[in-house]
Amino acid sequence: MLDRLTEYLDSVRARDPAPHSRWEILLYPGVIALGLHRVAHWLYEARLYFLARLINHVSRFLTAIDIHPGATIGRNLFIDHGFVVIGETAEVGDNVTIYQCVTLGGTNPTNGVGGKRHPTVRDNVIIGSGAQIIGPITLGSRARVGANAVVTDDVPEGATMIGLKARSTLVPAEEWIKDFIPYGTPCEENCAPSRDCVEKLETELASLRAEMAELKAAMPTPTPVTAKRSGAKRG
């Protein structure tokens, strides 16, 4: 057990440069919430639902992170800061990173039967702050969800999702194979249509500047005689 705890703390430190020691990581709200969830989930599987919910509420009070006791959480989940909600039938794989204010939410079943209504998050997924993952969808391994994105459809393996409603962007192989990309969005990744617009405007501006330079070069240069005559007429 000690080895697994050490492995977990080291995995958090590898994704967050802020802590100076493992002891400091033990005070992280996400670490405390995950530890209490392990206990609550064990009670939930034993059908001790009231005790499981009690621990869930204590955890939420202490950490501002709400993980339903029924949620299935893999190894090395890192929740960076609070205000995260993970629903009852959610399934989270190994080495997943979730930033603040993320919801793994469910849909309201119209037939009155609960069933699977929350997302499934595969291994090595990164979910940016404020993202909303809704419904019984699947986020493929190494998928990235940008900040404030709303995802309601399945996400292919290795895709980056952005926007409202989230859409997929192509990720180069050299970015895809990286072990970890903070905040789910590569800094140099072409993730927004505005970047294409800026590049287009810069190209048009360069073309206009070149045309203006050609026009200036074609204009005749005024001679001193012409300048004197202009001055005499004014006088």
pLDDT digits (tens, 9 = 90+) for 44-93: 999 999 999 999 999 999 999 999 999 999 999 999 999 999 999 999 99
174 and 79 within one domain: yes
Task: Read off the pLDDT of residues 161-220 as tens digits, 9 standing for 90 and up.
Answer: 988 877 666 666 555 556 666 656 555 544 455 556 777 888 888 889 888 888 888 887
Q: Mean pLDDT, to the nearest integer, of 85-111?
A: 90
Q: What pLDDT does 216 receive?
A: 83
Beta-carbon-side half-sphere exposure of residue 34 (alpha carbons within 13 Å) = 24
- The CATH number that applies at residue 91 is 2.160.10.10
Q: DSSP label at 105?
A: E
Q: Mean pLDDT, to the nearest integer, of 1-22?
A: 92
143 and 215 within one domain: no
Q: Which residues contact 170 (CB under 8 A, 6 or more apart)?
A: none
How many helices (H) and strands (E) would you count in the chain?
Answer: 7, 15
- Asked which of 191, 208, 224 is the last residue of a domain, the reply is 191
Q: What's the rounded Cα separation, in Å, for the pair 192 and 213?
A: 33
217 and 173 within one domain: no
123 and 74 within one domain: yes
Provide the pairing of β-strand 160-162 with 167-169: antiparallel
CA angle 132, 133, 136 (to 5 degrees): 150
Better-scored residue on pLDDT, 212 or 99: 99
228 and 123 within one domain: no
Task: Read off the pLDDT of residues 120-168 as tens digits, 9 standing for 90 and up.
Answer: 999 999 999 999 999 999 999 999 999 999 999 999 999 999 888 776 6
- For the chain, strand residue ranges (E) read 65-67, 72-73, 78-80, 84-86, 91-92, 97-99, 103-105, 120-121, 126-127, 132-134, 138-139, 144-145, 150-151, 160-162, 167-169
**Counted domains in the chain:** 2
35 and 85 within one domain: yes
Q: What pLDDT does 202 receive?
A: 85
205 and 123 within one domain: no
46 and 132 within one domain: yes
The residue segments making up the domain with residue 226 are 195-234
Residue 131 φ/ψ, nearest 5 degrees = -70, 145
126 and 49 within one domain: yes
pLDDT band at 1 (very low <50, low <70, confident <90, very high): confident
213 and 136 within one domain: no
Q: What's the rounded Cα separation, in Å, for the pair 91 and 149?
A: 19
202 and 186 within one domain: no
183 and 85 within one domain: yes
